[in-house]
Amino acid sequence: MKRAKLFQFSIMNGLLEGLYESEKTIGEIAEHGDFGLGTFNGMDGEMVAYNGEFYQIKADGTSSKANMSQKTPFASVTNFKADIVHEITESINKEGLDQLMKQLTPGPNLFYAIHLEGYFSTVRTRTVSKQHKPYKKFMLAVNDQKEFVFHDKQGLLAGFYSPDYMQGITVAGYHLHFITELRNGGGHTLDFMMEKGKVEIQILEDYEIELPSNEKFINANLGGDRSKEIEFTEG
């Protein structure tokens, strides 16, 4: 059986360092997967991809289809095909999802693509506001983020679980973006309560990172333990 691969463009520590631009287009990202998440140049909202459709969620919480020529400083995608499907009959939040993942998956040291779809009584999201040059580091840029609470929505969460040892390269643990069924709102998910629906999980054993080749990235200081910063910025 072919091993499923997570494709990632750039690294999380790059965003923390304020590297908010690259030449990589959403169209190029889409060549590596139909499902995933990321952001846009200038941190102009959150990106979520499902079924080959890429959406941009703006700082006001509204969303629209992304243009394939838009550029991104960070994105993670895969070609989604569920290995595990689980019906949700009792409400589940972020912590409940973690418990469920422990039951359903082989273990914490592989990557997993996660798709939750159904009826959500609440979803708490945030979306960073578009940043202007000179770019501030992410720790400061999140001061411009807006939080939203969606109530009683059909919709989906798309994203990934990444092992602890990957912190800094990506976001360790859960990173999920929300979009409503009508595709008119969403954001980076802080917490949620799904009442009914299903969880689909894909096991990802291969991992590919493409690094930006621009001068800023190549020479930036991207080392050090930034777990605290990631916990603060990614919630």
Q: Site map for Zn ion, 166-205, x if CB under 5 A?
A: ----------------------x-----------------
181 contacts 213 by C-beta, under 8 angstroms: no
Q: How many residues bind Zn ion (CB under 5 A)?
A: 1
- CA 19 – CA 73 distance, rounded (Å): 7
**DSSP code string of 93-150:** EHHHHHHHHHHHSS-TTSEEEEEEEEEEEEEEEEEPPPP-SSPPPHHHHGGG-EEEEE
Q: Site map for Zn ion, 24-43, x if CB under 5 A?
A: --------------------
Decide whether 205 or 231 has the Cβ nearer to Zn ion.
231
Give yes or no for residue 124 binding Zn ion (CB under 5 A): no
Residue 142 beta carbon to Zn ion: minimum distance, rounded to whole angstroms? 11
Give SS3 for 72.
coil
Residue 39 beta carbon to Zn ion: minimum distance, rounded to whole angstroms? 7
Decide whether 188 or 226 has the Cβ nearer to Zn ion.
188
- CA 158 – CA 162 distance, rounded (Å): 13
Decide whether 89 or 232 has the Cβ nearer to Zn ion.
232
123 contacts 166 by C-beta, under 8 angstroms: no
Residues in touch with Zn ion (CB under 5 A):
188
